[in-house]
Structures are given as structure tokens and as C-alpha cells.
């Protein structure tokens, strides 16, 4: 491609300096790259992104009203090009994807495009576990899109026609066991916050039954067993994340009930 595409790449990062050194040069086909660096980052993520020519903003992810949804909305507001590509630091465009993106922008016959995504676990792609055939909405017109407020697993909403693009994202989200466990803890805590924001309660039935049901769904019904040992680990981690999410929510409700003044139900207005 001789000229940069009228495209902003939207990217969030925390402690991702090594990943960005590999990723950012491959995004040179875009007119701009907007990187929002979590203020809690401990490495030189911001310096690496700046050196690569990205537009860099440092902003806290956590805190009141925080989470990935609000952080991406902040990033989208700083994109200036008519088209936006949302990509994460642990993702890579497969060969041919940049060409497919350029063709889609040139045609302009849709307002959003989904890309296929292949997720890797401990160095190999996961073929089943419910991850097969995954498509994610990642290319869209800036003025037709908005992110929701979800603290994790946020989504972008596109007004207009959405079509499927013949392009793939390689998602190396779990390169090591330590990385997988760290992400499990991060996501389970964020999902518990999401339950609280939505006003959803959690019972011991949720804590006891939802995790094994998740495991059975992924390992048996979604054929995780065919992924061998990696499939077993993926499904076990997913079930553990569900357990931690509902256990954290249940424990928070119990703690709140125990701290409530006598004669008052948690959440009721104070008696006068």
C-alpha cells in the first residue's frame, strides 16, 4: 500500500512494551495509531508506543466508573480518521488481513466488519472449547460506533450494516500458564464488578452450579475434549473464572448485609 489508509487503530495497553515493539510496525498502513496506556503500567509501554509514532495517552483504567468499556470510549473520542480498527496488544493481523481491510474501506459498502479470530493457548491454537468459528467486530466507521460501559468483555455497537471480512486476527492471549492465571484473576474480579453494576445478586446455587455447568458446556458440548490437555485446561480455567466471579459477588453481598444497620435491609433508604 503506497499511502496510509484513512484509518485509526485503537489500542489499550498495560505492561505491553515487548508486544508493542512487534505489533506497531505492522500497523504502518494506518494513518494513525491511538494507544491508551493504563496509568498502572510498570514498564516502558508509553515510551515504546511514542517512539513508534503512535498518539499516546496515559489514563487510569481502574477506579469509579472505570473498566475497559469507558477506557475504549475515551480512546475512540481521540481517533480522528473516518475508519477505526480495534486491536489488542496480544493480537496480530494474519497475512492478507491488511489488504482485506484496505479493500473494505475502499468499497465502503458496510459500516462495520467482523474478523475471524483464532485464539492460542500455551503456544498452540485452540480448535474447539466454544472458541471455534469466533468472529469479532473490529473494523467500523468512527461516527457509526459507540462502546458500552462493560468493565470487561466490552462491545462496540455499530449503527448500520455489518458484514463479514475475509481476514483473521491471531489472538495469543495465553502464552504462558502464569499469564493465563493472571488474566483469570483480572477478569473474574472485573466480572464481579459488572454483576454489581447490573444489580445482579449471587446465591450459593450460582456459586455451586454455574462453574461445573460452564465446564460441561465447553468440554463436552463444545468439544473441548478434542483439544486434548490444552482443552481440559482451558475449560477448567473458564469454570474457575465463573466460580470466582459469583463467589466474589456473593461474599460482597454477605459482607454488606452484615454491615447494614439493624432493622434495615441493605440498599433501603435510611430511616428517619
* pLDDT for res 192: 92
Q: Are 236 and 215 in contact, with CB atoms under 8 Å apart?
A: yes
CA-nearest of 141, 127, 152, 149 to 230 is: 127
Question: What's the Rg (C-alpha) of the chain?
Answer: 21
**Nearest residue to 149 via CA among 58, 37, 65, 87:** 65
Q: Per-residue confidence at 257, pLDDT binned at 50, 70, 90?
A: confident
DSSP 8-class letter at 14? S
Q: What is the share, in percent, of the chain residues with pLDDT greater than 90?
A: 85
In this structure, of 12-16, 121-125, 193-197, 234-238, the range with the lowest mean pLDDT score is 193-197
Q: What is the pLDDT of residue 30?
A: 98
* Per-residue pLDDT tens digits for 83-110: 999 999 999 999 999 999 999 999 999 9
Higher pLDDT among residues 271 and 126, named by residue? 126
Distance CA 190, CA 254 (A): 19
* 5-174 is a CATH 1.20.1260.10 domain: no
State yes or no: pLDDT of 270 exceeds 50. no
Kindly report, residue by residue over 28-78, the tens digit of the pLDDT: 999 999 999 999 999 999 999 999 999 999 999 876 457 899 999 999 999
Nearest to 233 by CA among 243, 247, 249, 219: 219
pLDDT value of position 64? 47
272 pLDDT tier (thresholds 50, 70, 90)? very low
Q: Compute the average pLDDT of residues 249-272.
A: 70
Global pTM?
Answer: 0.86
253, pLDDT greater than 70: yes
Instruction: Render 142-210 in DSSP notation, one character per residue.
Output: GGGEEE---SSS--EEE-S-EEEEEEEEEEEEESSHHHHHHHHHHHHHHHHHHHHHTT----HHHHHHH
The mean pLDDT of 213-239, rounded to a whole number, is 98
**pLDDT for res 151:** 82
CA dist 114 to 100, 140, 165, Å? 12, 9, 6
Tens of pLDDT, residue by residue over 175-189, are 999 999 999 998 999
Buried/exposed code over 254-270 (b: 16+ C-beta within 10 A; e: otherwise) = eeeeeeeeeeeeeeeee
- The pLDDT mean for the chain works out to 93
Amino acid at each position: 500500500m503506497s499511502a496510509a489508509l484513512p484509518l485509526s487503530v485503537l489500542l489499550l495497553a498495560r505492561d505491553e512494551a515487548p508486544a508493542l515493539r512487534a505489533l506497531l510496525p505492522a500497523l504502518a498502513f494506518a494513518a494513525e495509531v491511538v494507544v491508551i496506556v493504563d496509568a498502572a503500567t510498570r514498564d516502558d509501554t508509553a515510551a515504546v508506543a511514542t517512539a513508534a509514532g503512535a498518539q499516546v495517552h496515559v489514563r487510569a483504567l481502574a477506579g469509579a466508573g472505570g473498566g475497559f468499556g469507558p477506557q475504549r470510549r475515551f480512546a475512540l473520542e481521540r481517533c480522528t480518521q473516518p475508519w477505526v480498527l480495534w486491536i489488542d496488544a496480544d493480537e496480530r493481523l494474519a497475512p492478507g488481513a491488511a489488504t482485506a481491510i484496505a479493500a473494505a474501506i475502499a468499497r465502503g459498502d458496510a459500516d462495520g466488519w467482523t474478523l475471524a479470530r483464532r485464539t492460542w493457548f500455551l503456544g498452540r491454537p485452540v480448535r474447539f472449547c466454544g472458541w471455534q468459528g469466533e468472529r469479532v467486530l473490529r473494523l467500523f466507521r468512527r461516527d457509526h460506533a459507540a462502546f458500552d460501559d462493560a468493565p470487561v468483555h466490552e462491545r462496540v455497537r455499530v449503527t448500520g450494516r455489518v458484514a463479514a471480512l475475509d481476514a483473521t486476527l491471531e489472538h495469543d492471549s495465553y502464552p504462558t500458564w502464569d499469564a493465563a492465571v493472571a488474566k483469570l484473576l483480572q477478569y473474574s474480579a472485573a466480572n464481579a464488578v459488572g454483576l454489581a453494576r447490573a444489580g445482579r445478586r449471587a446465591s450459593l446455587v450460582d456459586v455451586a452450579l454455574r462453574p461445573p455447568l460452564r465446564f460441561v458446556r465447553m468440554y463436552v458440548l463444545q468439544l473441548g475434549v478434542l483439544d486434548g490437555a490444552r482443552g481440559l485446561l482451558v475449560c477448567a480455567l473458564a469454570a474457575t473464572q465463573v466460580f470466582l466471579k459469583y463467589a466474589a459477588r456473593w461474599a460482597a453481598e454477605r459482607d454488606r448485609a452484615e454491615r447494614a444497620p439493624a432493622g434495615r435491609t441493605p440498599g433501603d433508604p435510611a430511616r428517619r
